[in-house]
Amino acid sequence: MSKGPFTFDIMGPIRAALNGAPLPLGGPQQCAVLTLLLIRAGESVPLHEISDLLWQDDPPATAANVVHHHISALRRMLEPDLGRRDAGRWLLRSSVGYRLDVDPDSVDLHVFRGLVERGRDRAARSDWEQAASLYREALTLRRGSVGTGSPQNVAGTALFQAAESEYAKAVVEAAQIHHRIGHGHWILPPLRLTAERYPLDEQLQAALVRALGAAGRQVEALDIYRRIRTTLSEELGIEPGDALRAAQTAVLRQSVRTDATADPEDTAPAPTAAAPHPQPAPVPHPHPHPHPAPAPHPRPAPHPHPCPAPAQLPPGLPVFVGRDEELARILALAADASGPVIATMNGMAGIGKTALAVHAAHLLAERFPDGQLFVNLHGFDDSAAALAPADALRCLLECLGLPARDLPSTLPGLTGTYRSLLADRRVLIVLDNARDAQQVQPLLPSAPGCMALVTSRNVLEQLLVTHNARPVSVPPFSVGEGRVVLERHIGPSRTAGQARALEAIVESCRGVPIALAVAAARASLNPGRPLKSIAGELRTAANSLDAFFSPDPDLDLRRALTCSYRVLDDATARLFRRLGEGADRRVRVEAAAALAGLPVARCRQLLVGMVAESLISEPTPGCFEMHRFVADYALEAEHRVESPAAQVAQADCTGGRARHRAAPARRPVHRLAAPSTG
């Protein structure tokens, strides 16, 4: 059967594609509705079930309208050319609700179920090798929790948890088959992660104990048995059951076999459809969101950590939109097992680099059980000095459990201690708002299994060469993404029927998230003010930066751009200001050289430097372009520089490129600061 033009992935961050091209999914509630319809693909889903999923026992008075709004948006997503009143081909209205009429084989969850059923059938026929192959193919489909991308209260509902339980059951069955045939080392990572999610499920824990014993990790296997026995005793007041005790006995006797000749009492029964594994009871996850994870690397032998694993990620944005391509790239990079993974996110001020890094980190957190670290390096910040690498390392090492009195006094000593401590751990490090590669290099892990996400307005080209870092450019939002941001901030009741006003506001924001946030806040703080009025105010402002002024320093676009401008050297700053005077925001290198009175070769060097600082872009070779907001700032700077006071201030700012290397940080060393504005 043909899968048709669509592919849908819901076993992890929800993804949809039409003929291979990603589709915009909308907000968390819309993702939840789509996930429900995909779980029940081809079936009619009553309106009350959708309402119950989104709001459980407390739906708002506008619930039906909100659901209809989500359905209409999904219909337009699936069929972009569909007329407003057309019924559509794929998402159909039924007598009781709605039916998503797509082939179940286009949905990864249904493909997973089919593979597992075929694996059970082969196991019932004692075709162990084929059964193992089918289970392995099924388990590799999971990238994270079903419902990721939906609101937190939705992801924890029985519907989504039942799908998670299906996966847990399949993991146990796969482990039993591989135990029988004796080559199941690959099952350890998914088995370990699943056992961590369901610590009270004895069959899962017994399968993990047996698998560890078969892999030669008897000490770790017995340690896990002791821990689950303590947990069962303290939380439920019971002793381990037969399966766990048999697994412990097998490890103690060193009788866990790695071939098909294992003794009957030492071999777990093969899975059958007639004797299903009891569904594990869901337990709260330690993180604020369900975090999907790519298939993890095999975990090293346990290390006696001096303190609990740090979990320092700041909360993600309540409204996170788009960035599908960038997120997909970051998640794909995380699957690389050949060495430490370094991903750098670069883009202009206020473009949302930090939001992307934090969102990606939450999605990946489950994959890094030894901790998630976050530090704001203040590379572009007018409220604090750039954090020196040695001070950042002291923060990180103390968070990893080393007392301050035991830390080395030199940067090489701190770097060596840091990398040694990470050598047998899986840790995710988010280094936010980096100034340059020199500030970041000592903070990067060197061992496989760790990952660093680095945000900066600088492209950090040196890290691409020295550390095989993979760049992820963060562009402005599309018009559609900007509209979704405003709709989700302001609410459907306020934006209904206001398409023109929304489009005008989005146009004024030029795809910059910080500008969209200011516009949304202005609308929310003035609920009685028509959106048309706000759109007119933004459109007619004499200066675009004045239009987006905010008393909140973290939302002030002019202040954010100032932090980029102040670190430029004199020659680059002079060219930057002259470009703001140009009649067009796009200029060829020869025209820029004439405008600034520079030789073409020298002008190109300075322009390339500004590209590296995300102040301009080079959409085509030799042709450079300034974002509207950056061009307006450059023109302001040209006018200000005529003031002697401004010249003194600018002279005082030059050389900032290296200040953090020589001067100690002027902020408390152990206070890991909040994320930057992106």
CB 314 within 8 A of CB 361: no
Asked whether the predicted pLDDT for residue 260 surpasses 60, the reply is no
Closest to 384 (Cα-Cα) out of 650, 663, 678: 663
The pLDDT tens digits for 484-502 are 888 888 887 777 778 888 8
Does the global pTM surpass 0.75? no
- Mean pLDDT over 506-526 rounds to 87
Structure tokens belonging to residue 162: 């039942």
| 434 DSSP β-pair partners | 456
Query: Reduced to 3 states, what is the DSSP secondary structure of residue 9?
Result: strand
Give pLDDT, residue 293: 40
Give pLDDT, residue 345: 93
Give pLDDT, residue 215: 78
| 620 DSSP β-pair partners | 623
On average, the pLDDT of the chain sits at 79
Asked whether the predicted pLDDT for residue 117 surpasses 90, the reply is yes
The pLDDT tens digits for 403-426 are 888 888 888 889 988 988 888 788
Confidence of residue 55 (pLDDT cuts 50, 70, 90): confident
Give pLDDT, residue 173: 93
Whole-number Å distance between alpha carbons of 16 and 37: 13
Give pLDDT, residue 57: 74
Answer CATH for 568-654 from 1.10.10.10, 2.130.10.10, 1.10.8.50, 2.30.30.40:
1.10.10.10
How many H-runs (helices) and E-runs (strands) does the chain carry?
30, 14
Whole-number Å distance between alpha carbons of 318 and 322: 13
Asked whether the predicted pLDDT for residue 400 surpasses 90, the reply is no
H or E element at residue 92: strand 91-93
Q: For strand 623-625 and strand 617-620, is the pairing parallel, antiparallel, or unpaired?
A: antiparallel
**109-266: what CATH class?**
mainly alpha
The pLDDT tens digits for 517-541 are 888 888 888 888 888 888 888 887 7
What HEC string does 98-132 produce? EEECCCHHHEHHHHHHHHHHHHHHHHHCCCHHHHH
The pLDDT tens digits for 266-292 are 333 344 333 333 333 333 333 333 334
Instruction: Return left, alpha or beta for 26; rule: phi > 0 is left, psi -120 to 50 is alpha, else beta.
Output: left
* Percent of the chain whose pLDDT exceeds 70: 83
Residue 578: C-alpha distances to residues 331, 336, 584, 606, 641 (Å): 41, 44, 12, 12, 11
Buried (b) or exposed (e) across 278-289, using 16+ Cβ within 10 A?
A: eebebeebeeeb
Q: Whole-angstrom distance between the N-terminal and C-terminal Cα of the chain?
A: 46
The pLDDT tens digits for 349-397 are 889 899 999 988 988 888 888 889 999 998 888 777 788 999 999 889 8
Whole-number Å distance between alpha carbons of 295 and 448: 14
Structure tokens belonging to residue 547: 């239009």
Task: Kindly give, in sequence order, each residue whose CB lies less than 8 Å from that of residue 130, ignoring residues fewer than 6 positions away.
Answer: 122
Whole-number Å distance between alpha carbons of 58 and 61: 9
Whole-number Å distance between alpha carbons of 362 and 366: 8
CATH of domain 324-472: 3.40.50.300
| Window from 303-317, 329-343, 365-379 with minimum mean pLDDT | 303-317
Residue 563: C-alpha distances to residues 40, 605, 657, 660 (Å): 50, 22, 11, 14
- How many beta carbons lie within 10 A of that of residue 453, not counting itself? 27
The pLDDT tens digits for 446-483 are 888 899 999 999 889 889 888 889 999 999 988 888 88
CATH of domain 6-106: 1.10.10.10
Give pLDDT, residue 389: 92
- How many beta carbons lie within 10 A of that of residue 380, not counting itself? 26
Closest to 676 (Cα-Cα) out of 259, 395, 314, 322: 314
Confidence of residue 135 (pLDDT cuts 50, 70, 90): very high
| Window from 185-189, 533-537, 608-612, 619-623 with minimum mean pLDDT | 185-189
Confidence of residue 644 (pLDDT cuts 50, 70, 90): very low
Single-letter code of the amino acid located at 434: A
Instruction: Return left, alpha or beta for 41; rule: phi > 0 is left, psi -120 to 50 is alpha, else beta.
Output: beta
- Strand ranges across the sheet with 91-93: 44-46, 97-100, 91-93
Closest to 142 (Cα-Cα) out of 6, 34, 286, 291: 291
